[in-house]
Structure formats: C-alpha cells, structure tokens
C-alpha cells in the first residue's frame, strides 16, 4: 500500500479513500492510482458513451416523441 501511494504521489489515507470509493477524492488521484497499478488504459472505457447503454436509454427517453416544424416565414 505504501509503494502504490508513493508511486501515485498521494498519502496512504487518501489511497484508503480511493479503495473505499470515496466520491470526495479527485479524479486526478484516481488516475494517478490507476497509473501506479498499470491500469490507466481502463479509464478511457469509463467515459466511453458507446458502452453506456443505461445512459443512452435515459437520454433517449427524454427526447420528444413528436416534433413540429416551425411555419415558414414569408420573405
């Protein structure tokens, strides 16, 4: 644990917060810990909208089911 904290340039208590999933820890710290563990490539998968089926479903449910075109303005 001390080695990972040192490689991530953070403290052991902060590393414990990361392990616990504490939302108050900055994303930069999470990235540094992933880098120290050799897992940084996986971070890009988290933000990949193509893999977020729940997010896509929620976003498409907010779309209007019917739209109307505005009447044309006469010149």
Q: What is the pLDDT of residues 4-54, one digit of tens each?
A: 999 999 999 999 999 999 999 999 999 999 999 998 887 777 778 888 888
pLDDT value at 55 more than 80: yes
Domain that includes residue 18, residue range: 1-41
Per-residue pLDDT band for 60 (boundaries 50, 70, 90) equals: confident
Angle between helices 27-37 and 12-20 (to 10 degrees): 100
**Three-state secondary-structure class, residue 24:** coil
The C-alpha atoms of residue 51 and residue 38 are separated, in whole angstroms, by: 22
Q: How many domains does the chain have?
A: 1
Q: Is residue 30 part of a domain?
A: yes
Residues 6+ apart with CB under 8 A from 7: 35, 36
Q: What is the pTM of this model?
A: 0.60
Residue 18: predicted pLDDT: 95
Residue 67: predicted pLDDT: 74
């Amino acid at each position: 644990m001390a080695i990972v904290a040192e490689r991530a340039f953070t403290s052991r208590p902060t590393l414990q917060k990361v392990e616990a999933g504490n939302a108050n820890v900055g994303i930069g710290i999470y990235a540094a810990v992933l880098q120290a563990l050799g897992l940084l490539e996986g971070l890009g998968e988290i933000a990949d909208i193509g893999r977020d089926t729940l997010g896509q479903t929620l976003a498409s449910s907010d779309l209007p089911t019917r739209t109307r075109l505005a009447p044309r303005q006469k010149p």
